């Protein structure tokens, strides 16, 4: 039954996203199964962007998936926030694929880099690249026919609450829009609502893997999505 439900959901997503455009060249959004973590592939007019990269274990599977989809180069690699289940695949992608530009939210790693090696590795591999830059609210990117608008955070975060300052990105084409929220939790949602930013979207990528500390009723009402996607490992230890 679970396999049938998963297949139905996948077909429903594909059917729904086909309304984005009349051809593959206009735009596609892939919510990739990376187990415990997030990874989203955007494709439009021969260009590709990857938002988050899953965890270390899923890295080889992610690279395989990208190559199966014909991705040999990423125009953009975007990390919503530097938690291990979002940055793990970076260590496999960067040696295997050409990346034109890499972004994250500029999260301060001063405290954690001293106690956790993955953050030191991340800084060495990602933030020392010449093509690395920080995204904040108001920044925009274009990927073929897709427009990417950054809604959050307002500035590079220094808080130890990484999730609350995840990049929030609105992907749109014509009348279609998809809101990608990384691991955004309730405090970040409240700040977005206070700012009066239009959050309406056809598809919502639910924040923080569907955890109880995210996706408040007020936020859901503001987005008014027709579909919600949750990226979560069925057997995850967190009980999401």
Mean pLDDT, the chain, integer: 88
Q: Is the pLDDT of residue 71 over 60?
A: yes
CA distance 165 to 183: 8
Query: Half-sphere exposure (CA, 13 Å, Cβ side) for 110?
Result: 6
Q: Domain residue spans in the chain? A: 23-229
Q: Given a cut of 60, is residue 129 above it in pLDDT?
A: yes
We find that the CATH architecture of domain 23-229 is 4-Layer Sandwich (3.60)
Query: What is the pLDDT, as a whole number, of residue 21?
Result: 43
Whether pLDDT at 9 is above 90: no
Average pLDDT for 25-29: 84
To which residue do tokens 């395989």 refer?
Answer: 64
What 3-state class would DSSP assign to 4? Answer: helix
Residue 113 has pLDDT above 60, yes or no: yes
Residue 97 has what DSSP assignment? S
């Amino acid at each position: 039954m679970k396999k049938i439900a998963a297949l139905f959901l996948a077909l429903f997503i594909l059917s729904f996203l086909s309304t984005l455009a009349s051809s593959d060249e206009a735009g596609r959004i892939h919510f990739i199964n990376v187990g415990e973590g997030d990874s989203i592939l955007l494709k439009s007019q021969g260009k590709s962007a990857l938002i988050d990269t899953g965890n270390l274990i899923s890295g080889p599977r992610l690279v395989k998936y990208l190559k199966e989809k014909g991705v040999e180069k990423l125009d953009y690699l975007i990390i919503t926030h530097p938690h291990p289940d979002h940055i793990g695949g970076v260590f496999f992608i960067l040696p295997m694929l050409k990346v034109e530009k890499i972004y994250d939210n500029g999260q301060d790693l001063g405290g954690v880099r001293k106690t956790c090696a993955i953050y030191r590795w991340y800084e060495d591999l990602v933030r020392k690249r010449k093509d690395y830059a920080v995204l904040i609210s108001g920044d925009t990117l274009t990927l073929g026919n897709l427009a990417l608008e950054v809604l959050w955070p307002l500035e590079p975060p220094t808080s130890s609450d990484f999730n609350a300052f995840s990049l929030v990105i609105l992907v749109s084409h014509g009348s279609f829009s998809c809101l990608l929220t990384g691991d955004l939790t309730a405090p970040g949602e409240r700040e977005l609502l206070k700012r009066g930013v239009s959050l309406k979207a056809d598809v919502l990528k639910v924040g923080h893997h569907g955890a109880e500390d995210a996706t408040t009723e007020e936020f859901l009402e503001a987005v008014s999505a027709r579909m919600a996607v949750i990226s979560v490992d069925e057997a995850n230890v967190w009980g999401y």
